[in-house]
Structure 1
Amino acid sequence: TPVFCFGYQGKFEGLFQLLGLPELLGSIDAAAKQRSELVAHVLALTRDGDSVKRKIADRLPDINTWSRRNLPL
């Protein structure tokens, strides 16, 4: 299921960049100033859920490879 997050410590930014989905990350400051745009953006993302799922599925093999390099078991 697609998600939409607000970044607050730099962690989400990196994760969403790895997934190739920076559009799923919002700014709290921007949302406070532009509520109607935020609502429209989230609604558009819910309609495009299958595309988001495909992007995540496509990126997972690379992410798993990088994870194994960082944490050998």
Structure 2
Amino acid sequence: MVTKLVVEWPLCDGNGVCTIEAPELLLIDDNDNLQVLNEIVVNSLLAKAEAAVRVCPKRALKLVTEG
């Protein structure tokens, strides 16, 4: 099974609190836009991805398991 970090782009306002929780997966660029560094979440980063989803004030992030 593969876990992916998915962004609901219309909901994202780019405030960046998610990047504090999961800097290995998410980044705010120089234009204040959210960048997904890796949508595939390896097991060692799952707790950080879950924390990023939890702190998103707009509920723009979710984890999806496939396979």
TM-score where L is the length of structure 1: 0.29
- The structure carrying a bigger helix percent of its residues is 1
Max Rg structure? 1
Higher strand share: 2
TM-score of the superposed pair, with normalisation by structure 2 = 0.30
